[in-house]
Structure 1
């Protein structure tokens, strides 16, 4: 069954160098001094053997994402039409893949499901969780990190489909800089993953 569903350089953004955001976001291409990743709040499932028939497995697919998230940089939504990126901040890999791994770890730890990655689903795909990562960045208007996910649970055989949207906002608590932004996004991502796991377990 098919899945559901740069940086923006506008003249306005380039001209507004005097804004308070000018010290914390960057439109340039310099390499960051360090890389960010997502740490899971749950302990990984180690040493526990799980077996399941096809109907009890869940394949968590890598989320789709809009163009502004198809980068290792962290977007800052300045207004409805303008996006910049956090200065000196970069993920170790695409945020869709980082979140998919975090979500898989969380669901495996918090539910009895046998969680499969895309590379394993050909053996016994069972249910599938497809999704779209709508937001994974900073809302400068509220100084919050935002993680928003549209999830679609597809039953084995594709007979039924259930959708739900999840969103968590976490205050950054300071300037829009790499460390506080990374920490706030990690908290938000873990909360979304926990909410998804509770939905799947229910």
Structure 2
């Protein structure tokens, strides 16, 4: 009985040295809307048109917290030590929501709230949200689908923004993708608001 206890006691110091998960990066990336709703501002769908925004679908390379780099037409890598705080699709949907509220005065509803008063409905696919190594730029491409309230037709439109970067590394990709995402969100807001 003493032998197993000795083995157990000897292995305890090693327990703190063993890790089965990847080491987290020093910080996580996020994006912020350049046009955001004012704090304390009440939104009322009786006075402003409502719109439901769905979290966009994404291709597999964006279904991760890592930042993709398109190296060639058939090769994708990821930026070392760059990781999003949450999925790019959720970050982008929130950015579009804030931009639509601030720029167009729209009452933006989450997917759960759309059963109350859907109004218009915006969905789509976030096709690119990463870096292009050959062109050394951040690229955001969103294929939007809009159903306007009371109309049976679906409007589709592609939005895209490119922002040049000097280097593709952890420190430069966040600001460049934030700028590109805001450009796309503003284009979407102008299209929805017309």
With the length of structure 2 as denominator, give the TM-score of the two structures: 0.84
Could you list the structure 1 runs, at least 4 aligned residues long, displaced by more than 3 angstroms after superposition: none
CA deviation string 1:82-135 (max 9, x = no partner): 110000100000000000001100000000221111121111111100110000
**Distance between the aligned counterparts of 2:151 and 2:130, measured in 1?**
32
User: What do you get for the CA RMSD once the two structures are aligned?
Assistant: 1.7
Unaligned stretches of 5+ residues in structure 2? 1-21
1:176 aligns to what? 168
Aligned residues: 173
With the length of structure 1 as denominator, give the TM-score of the two structures: 0.81
2:147 aligns to what? 154
Instruction: Give 1:56-67 correspondences, 5 Å limit.
Output: 56-67=49-60
Contact residue 87 and residue 177 of structure 1 kept, 8 A: yes
Contact residue 145 and residue 184 of structure 1 kept, 8 A: yes
CA displacement at 1:168 relative to structure 2? 0.2
**Distance between the aligned counterparts of 2:152 and 2:27, measured in 1?**
46
Contact residue 69 and residue 75 of structure 1 kept, 8 A: yes
Q: Which moved more, 1:37-46 or 1:82-91?
A: 37-46
Determine whether 1:114 maps to 2:107: yes
Unaligned stretches of 5+ residues in structure 1? 1-28
Q: Which has the larger radius of gyration?
A: 2
2:180 aligns to what? 188
CA displacement at 1:160 relative to structure 2? 1.8
CA deviation string 1:133-162 (max 9, x = no partner): 000000001000000000010123561211
CA displacement at 1:180 relative to structure 2? 0.7
